[in-house]
Amino acid sequence: MKRILVTGALGQIGSELITKLRKEYGADNVIATDIRTADSEVVHGGPFEILDVTDAAQMNELVSKYKVDTMMHMAALLSARAEENPQLAWHLNMGGLVNGLEAAREHHLQFFTPSSIGAFGPDTPKHGTPQDTIQRPTTMYGVNKVSGELLCDYYFTRFGVDTRGVRFPGLISYVTPPGGGTTDYAVEIYYEALKTGKYTSYIDKGTYMDMMYMPDALQAIVDLMEADPAKLKHRNAFNVTAMSIEPEMVAAEIKKHIPSFEISYQPDPVRQAIADSWPDAIDASASKAEWGFKAEYDLATMTADMLQKLKTGIPQ
């Protein structure tokens, strides 16, 4: 990777990915794009362009303008919001992905896009979910992700596009506020612990889901993209995870730092149903074997770092 274009650069992952990439590859070599602008380091810290990913011509123009060799396609509507507007989710998530893959094919780009544990469904084994297993999701977001995995595989086998991707679990960050995902309770809980000392979880107690701290997620992207392609058997949908946790486990860890913290539960039917359809814990052995994936943070070290970082200023 020498010149990288990132779509959805102001989103949950993109906003932090841009910072990491510019630090490692040089600010001028990382082109951030989004459908909107903002007064942020993403916009002011290097090249930034407005891009609607459903506009194929505009995407190709930017690829040519900046002579990029890599595209990281992060623009997507997340799980809960996708259920609110499934037609928009298909239009944005799949239309944008096809345009990105076509640009990668035409311009010979290396291409990354993330999948998700949302690609699994209620028939998927819930414990130790294998890398290769049944995928019959019951949400539009999940349908998008399975379709995207297959489409990226197709562009690799049919056209030779160097496509790569991971299935992210819930991602926890102190930089970007929650953005409409089912797993976002595990982000909100830290913000509310410091703001109010209590939190009402929309995910019920006893609901296990895989999670990962954002620094580990960003490193996973870079490590996969820099990996020897000859060693990649799966390429586009590597299981990655750092921890399998339930809300009360997060609350208990927070209480070690804020003893007065209280948690209560008011499950949201839509997001709870989505969570119940996902695995409890996935198997990431393929990513470890094929490109050396390793998570540095567990629940305890992540919680300590989250609370310490958020104390310096909670984004509003």
List residues with catalytic annotation: 141
Ramachandran quadrant class, 51 (left: phi over 0; alpha: psi -120 to 50; beta: rest): beta
Q: Residue 129 has which token pair?
A: 């979910």
> If you write DSSP's letter for every residue of 7-20 in order, what string do you get?
ESTTSTTHHHHHHH
> CB-based contacts of 160: which residues, under 8 Å, 6+ apart?
none
| CB-count burial class (<10 Å; 0-12, 13-18, 19+) for 136 | middle
Helical (H) or strand (E) element with 48? strand 48-50
Q: Could you give phi then psi for residue 208, rounded to 5 degrees?
A: -85, 135
CA atoms of 294 and 271, how far apart (whole Å)? 29
First to last CA, the chain: 34
